[in-house]
Each structure stands twice: as C-alpha cells, then as structure tokens.
Chain A
Amino acid sequence: MYEAPARGPPSSVGKASPTRRVQLGADLKGQSIANLRGVTFLRRALLALSLASLMGGLMRLRGKGGVPPQEGGWRELRLPPQ
C-alpha cells in the first residue's frame, strides 16, 4: 500500500525544527540588542562630542579678551622717599 510521503520536513528535522527556530530567534534577538547598544553608544558619543564642541566654542567665544598693554615693559618699582 502506497503511503504518501509526509508533507513537510522529515520527522527528525521536524523534531529539531522548533529548537532551531528558538536558537535562531535568540541569535537574532541578541544581535538586535547588540546593534541597539552599539547605536546607543554611538549616539551618546556623538552627543558628548557635540556638547564638548559647544562648550569649547562657548569658552572660546565668551569674553572680550580685554585690551592688554603691548607697548612698554616692566621695571623695578621705585618707592617714594620717606
């Protein structure tokens, strides 16, 4: 009597399939988490760099710098006589 072949994967594969799927799912989930962490790290690094640049720029720009004396020099102070 002809026995129709079972549809789908062989029984051995069929038994292993759910486990395989779970493993694949875990791998994918792990990869996505790793990717997410990488992106988060990258974002934070970019944010920190941006903030540092902004602060550096502010520090450079703030203040007029004054008008320093650039003509003349220093000499020993002569105190008035007593």
Chain B
Amino acid sequence: MSASTDRGQPGPIVGVVGAGVTGQSVGRVLRSRGGRIAWYDLAAGAAVRAGRRHGGVAVDSLDDLRVVDAVVLASPGPHFEIAASLIDDGVDVVSLSDDRADVVGLLTLQRRAVTSQARLVVGAAMSPGLTGLLARHLVSQLATADEVHVAMYGTGGPACARHHHDALGGRAWGWHDGEWVERPGGSGRELCWFPDPIGPADCYRASLADPLLLHRAFPQASRVSARVSATRRDRLTARLPMLAPPHADGDRGAVRVEVRGSLADGARETLVVGAVGRTGDLAGTVAAMFALECIAGTIPVGVAVSGEDAALSLRLLRSLTSAGVHVHEFTGVARAAV
C-alpha cells in the first residue's frame, strides 16, 4: 500500500472498495470529515482517478486494506467473501449491498465478527440504510408501530441501475402478518408521493433487501414492505437484458418511509418522512457516517443494521442533515382528496 501521499495528515484511514458514483461520494464525505482514503477498484484506473479527484491513494490489492481503520464496500455485490475476509482480520466493514441473498449471507457473520472484535454494518446505503434511520425516527414517535413501508425512487451509478433492473424481474419478499410472503417483482403498484421535486411515482414490489433488514430492526412490526419506482418500460423489460445502457453519473433520487401505528391514547397514526437528493450522494453519505461511527467505536462489535439502535440512528440523522442531506416530513393527512 502506497500510503505515503497522505502521511502526516490527521484522521483515520478508510478503505473504499469501488470507485464508482457512490464510492466517490463516500470518499468525498469522509475527506470533508478529515478522513484519509485508500481507494480500491477492480478497474485500477478508476481508483487512481478517484484519488486524484477527491484525494487519497489508490491501492493495488484488497490485501492492502487489512491495515486500515474501516472499509466501505461500495462496489457491486456480492460482498460476502470480501466482508468475511476483512472482519476475520479485525477490520470494521460497512457494506452497501442491497442484494437480498448477499445480505442474508452477511447477517450470518455475527459470530465471526464478535470473535475478531470487528463491526460489520449491513445495508448502509439509501435503501436499505437511510430508510432504517428514518423508520426509527418515526417509530420513536409512536407507542406501537405495526407497519413499516418504504419506497425508493431513482438509482445511483450504473451498477445500481442494473440491480434495480434485475430486482424488478426477481421475487419480492415482504413480511406480512407474521410470515414472509413471496410475490413477483413488478407487482403491487402503489402511487407513492416523494418530497419535491420528485413528487408522485408508481412504485412496485421488487427483490430488495429492505424488508429483511427492517424486520430485524423492527421485529414488532407485523407488516414490512419495500417498493421501487418503475416505468411501464422498466416492468415490461425487467426479465430481459437491459436494452439501454444505464446513465453513468446517476441521477436525482428520493426515499420515502411510512410507519403506521398507534399513539399512547390508542389513536391510529400514519407518519411519513422522505429524503431527496442525488441517489449516489445519499447512499454515500449514509455509508460514510456509518464508517465514522465504527471508527469512533459507538457501534457495538458484531453485525449491525440501520435503525436497530435508537440513539445511534438519531445521531446519524443529525450527521446526515449536517452533511447536506435534505430530510422532509409529510405534514398532512394520508387520505385521498375529496
């Protein structure tokens, strides 16, 4: 590892695996918080370019990252093998994986993480990730929370767009009245309203990791679902190869979290919050903040998911808003206009 470029600067060293749209966002936020970045990407040129643009050094091998304080996995999944290898060496890992099968595997690493005194944050992106933090904020306002429903609009970089495409053609899992229910991706259309300027968008079930992680964070909720926005063309071509190449830079996106439950006096309440911004920036900022919390030691050793810890979630939300993430709450009644 050629870390001499940043020698002498204060702050922890964070490895960023994947120098794409989201990875560069992670690096930018960490640099603004005094972190030093070691970039790694399968495409060596991408890591070098990210280093030139945001500072830090490019490393040639994943083995060079075993000496850093934390590693953020912002590359296309699966992350299981890399994460398992790093936590075995005692390195804290933050994974942005949103692939359900990959997330299932990552959650099984609890014992190995505890054994090596490492932290593994699973699903630290926008959805999952920011959704869990927002859901925790809403759940804390209710006496009982029965339902958690999330929806996402937009994609980050090309890899995220490909996953979005595949997810619509996969099998969607949701927690429904105490059991997992499998439904086809692209079904269950629901018109979801996102904060301005996104506005309303049709959202559908998809093969997402969110329900799995939200159910772990909020086991009391009897219904958990996740949807993504899609056009008719997205749904029609979901089971085919991508017909058009995804945009290289990502685009503006949004996330929306709706929690239903009851207040202390028994009255039913539906609370809605959302966040809007460039999708890669939102995901990258969440991951960067989780990495800093890992380094600070405020996340317990083992596997952690977003929204599990109320105090940590509130602290992270504060950090996110201070980093420029725009979080909005819906102020109205969740009912159709007369």
Which residues does A use to contact B, with CB under 8 Å?
A: 55-56, 59, 62-80, 82
List of 7 A-B pairs having minimum Cβ-Cβ separation, nearest first: A72-B332, A63-B189, A66-B190, A74-B328, A70-B337, A77-B327, A69-B334
Contacts of B192 in A (CB 8 A): 66, 68
Docked complex Cα distance between A63 and B321 (Å): 35
Chain B interface category by residue count = 20 to 34
Which partner residue on chain B sits nearest A61 by CB separation?
B189
Partner of A77, one of B235, B329, B332: B329
Taking a contact as CB atoms under 8 Å apart, the answer to whether B191 and A79 are in contact is no
B142 to chain A, nearest CB (A): 14
Q: Which residue in chain A gives the minimum CB-CB distance to B191?
A: A68
* A74 x B274 contact (CB < 8 A): yes
CB distance from A22 to the nearest CB of B (A): 48
Q: Which secondary structure dominates where chain A touches chain B?
A: loop
- What separation, in Å, do the CA atoms of A70 and B187 have in the docked complex? 23
What is the distance, in angstroms, from A31's C-beta to the closest C-beta of chain B?
Answer: 38
Q: Which residues of B contact A55 (CB under 8 A)?
A: 236
- Name 19 extra pairs, CB < 8 A, besides A63-B188, A68-B200, A72-B332: A63-B190, A64-B189, A65-B189, A65-B191, A66-B189, A69-B335, A70-B335, A71-B332, A71-B335, A72-B330, A73-B331, A73-B332, A74-B196, A74-B328, A77-B137, A77-B328, A78-B329, A79-B318, A82-B314
Say if the beta carbon of B224 comes within 8 Å of chain A: no
Q: Does B7 contact A (CB under 8 A)?
A: no
Chain B contact residues, majority secondary structure: mixed
Q: Which residue of B lies closest to A71 (CB)?
A: B332
User: Of all chain B residues, which has the CB nearest A56?
Assistant: B232
Tell me the total A-B contact number using a CB cutoff of 8 A.
Answer: 80
User: How near does chain A come to B17, taking the closest CB pair, in angstroms?
Assistant: 31
Assess whether B193 is interfacial by the CB under 8 Å rule: yes
Chain A's nearest CB lies how many Å from the CB of B76? 29
Bound Cα distance A27, B159 (Å): 56
Give A80 to B184 CA distance when docked, in angstroms.
39
Q: For the complex, what is the distance from the CA of A77 to the CA of B334, rounded to whole Å?
A: 17
Residues on B with C-beta less than 8 A from A79 are 137, 314, 317-318, 321
Question: Do B314 and A67 have beta carbons less than 8 Å apart?
Answer: no
A66 and B191 contacting across the interface, CB-CB below 8 Å? yes
The answer to whether B282 has its CB under 8 Å from any CB of chain A is: no
Q: Which residue of B lies closest to A52 (CB)?
A: B236
Q: Is B336 an interface residue (CB 8 A)?
A: yes
How far does the alpha carbon of A75 sit from the alpha carbon of B326 in the complex, in Å? 10
Q: A68-B336, A69-B334 are in contact. Are A77 and B314 (CB under 8 A)?
A: no
Residue on A nearest B141 in the bound complex, by CB: A80
Contact A59 B232, beta carbon cutoff 8 Å: yes
Rounded to whole angstroms, the CA-CA distance of A65 and B201 in the bound complex is 11
Q: Is B333 an interface residue (CB 8 A)?
A: yes
Cβ-closest chain A residue relative to B188 = A63
Whether the Cβ atoms of A71 and B188 lie closer than 8 Å is no
**Which of B190, B195, B235 is within 8 Å of A65, CB to CB?**
B190
- Chain B 190-218 near chain A by CB (<8 Å), digits 1 or 0: 11110110001000100000000000000
Task: Write out the residue numbers on chain A whose beta carbons fall within 8 Å of the beta carbon of B232.
Answer: 56, 59
Contacts A59-B235, A79-B318; is A68 near B137 (CB within 8 Å)?
Answer: no
**Residue of A56, A67, A68, A77 with highest tally of chain B CB at under 10 A:** A77
Q: Which residue of B lies closest to A65 (CB)?
A: B191
Report the bound CA distance from A19 to B321 in whole Å. Answer: 90
Among candidates B189, B318, B327, B332, residue contacting A69 with C-beta atoms closer than 8 Å: B332
A residues near B272, Cβ cutoff 8 Å: 69
Residues of A within 8 Å of B336, CB to CB, are: 67-68, 70
Query: What is the chain A residue whose CB lies nearest that of B317?
Result: A79
The reply on B273 being an interface residue by CB < 8 A is yes
Chain A nearest Cβ from B163, distance in angstroms? 22
A72 CB contacts on chain B under 8 angstroms: 330-333
Residue A71 contacts which of B187, B204, B337 (CB distance < 8 angstroms)? Answer: B337
